[in-house]
Amino acid sequence: MIRRQAIVVLALVGLLVATYLWLYKIGVLGELQCGTGSCEYVQTSPYADVLGIPVAFLGVLGYLALFVLGLVGLQPRFVADRRVALSLAALATLGFAFTLYLTAIELFVLHAICRWCVGSAVIMTAIWGLALMGLARTPSAAAPPR
Amino acid sequence: MNRFYLLLVAVALIGGGVLWFGSRRQPAPPATAPIPIAAADGFHGFTLGSDSAKVEVTEYSDFECPFCASFATVQMPVIRQQLITTGKVRWRYRDFPLPVHQYSRYAALAAQCAGEQGKFWEMHDQLFSNHQWAQTGKNPASLFRDFARTIGLDIDKYDACVDGQRYAGRIQASVQEGEALGVRGTPSFFVGGQLFQGRATSDDFKALFDSLSKTRK
């Protein structure tokens, strides 16, 4: 239960971060608050879009899905449901893999770091770890009877 | 459980508020104040190539101009490789920020300030290779600082230079000199002091330089 709550909170924070970056990308925000990072350089690079879709928007969708799925998983009848744990783990693994790809682009192609992206990467990594732990501790026999 | 949902609401409200507040803090806008009249510091543009090259090309360019960006990213790499690094041509860059472009003078200032630290051409490449900034209409101050960091500038010196508009007079002098020579648009090129009327392609330049080199032998 605690792990799923943590996933929901982290997904909400990630959703806020991704929304912030997406609003910048579509021109609603004029400037990113980035401190000493290179946020705008990263966000205006060709790698900030995948097939014409802003990466930040994909982040919004991903975190929103994790948030909703985590909330569903907190409902009493789904707490011990392995299907929810499996879905969370699968979605988090997808998000983590995408995060690894984006971080590699920052480090090895752009040679620039966006602090918000690092924040998102940390959040996604934590969600991934929690989701895997949750899956490991949810026995398959615990699925509710039909 | 109710406490948990209260926590969620609090995170959403605080996080949303922080992001909203943060997004409202804008940096100082790029220079729009009247620019001081030409400071005659004797500077005539940054150059690439050998001083002993037989031909010199002077380019009058505007960092916000899409044609200049296209030239810089498509033609210039070939010109650098085939003509400049081979010692045939020396290339001189002059600023000619057009008044219709909101941030071109600011970009020229950023490049001059990079030049102060010996990295004019690196900033030149950043400004032209990442030209999306010229299409968004957003204040590019923060993005240009990112460029400055990327090319390894001392950011405090860069900030002081840009904020103080240290080279505004130099840029204005370049504009005045260009106007006096008959520059009306960008990019404009002078080859051996003569206005180049051909197409701004590496092939045309190469053909011209080859013919000039033969006549000057």
Minimum mean pLDDT range among B34-38, B70-74, B125-129? B34-38
pLDDT tens for B12-62 read: 898 888 777 766 655 544 554 444 444 557 788 999 999 888 889 999 999
pLDDT at residue B35, as a whole number? 47
Average pLDDT of the segment spanning B164-193: 89
A126 burial class (0-12, 13-18, 19+ CB within 10 angstroms)? middle
* Amino acid B55: pLDDT: 86
- The interface pTM score, or ipTM, of the predicted complex is 0.72
The mean pLDDT of chain A is 85
Length of chain B equals 217
CA distance A75 to chain B (A): 10
Predicted pLDDT of residue A110: 77
Q: What is chain B's mean pLDDT, rounded?
A: 84
Instruction: Please answer yes or no on whether B25 and A33 come within 8 Å at the CB atom.
Output: yes
pLDDT band at B209 (very low <50, low <70, confident <90, very high): confident
Higher model confidence: residue B170 or residue B40?
B170
B135 and chain A: CB distance < 8 Å anywhere?
no
The 3-class secondary structure across chain A, one letter per residue, is CHHHHHHHHHHHHHHHHHHHHHHHHCCCCCCCCCCCCCHHHHHCCHHHEECCEEHHHHHHHHHHHHHHHHHHHCCHHHCCCHHHHHHHHHHHHHHHHHHHHHHHHHHHHHCCCCHHHHHHHHHHHHHHHHHHHHHHCCCHHHCCCC
**What number is the average pLDDT over the span B128-156?**
89
Q: Which of B7, B15, B138 sits opposite A30 (nearest CB)?
A: B138
**pLDDT for position B22:** 63
Q: Which pLDDT does position A115 carry in this prediction? A: 84
Whether chain A has a CB inside 8 Å of the CB on B130: the answer is yes
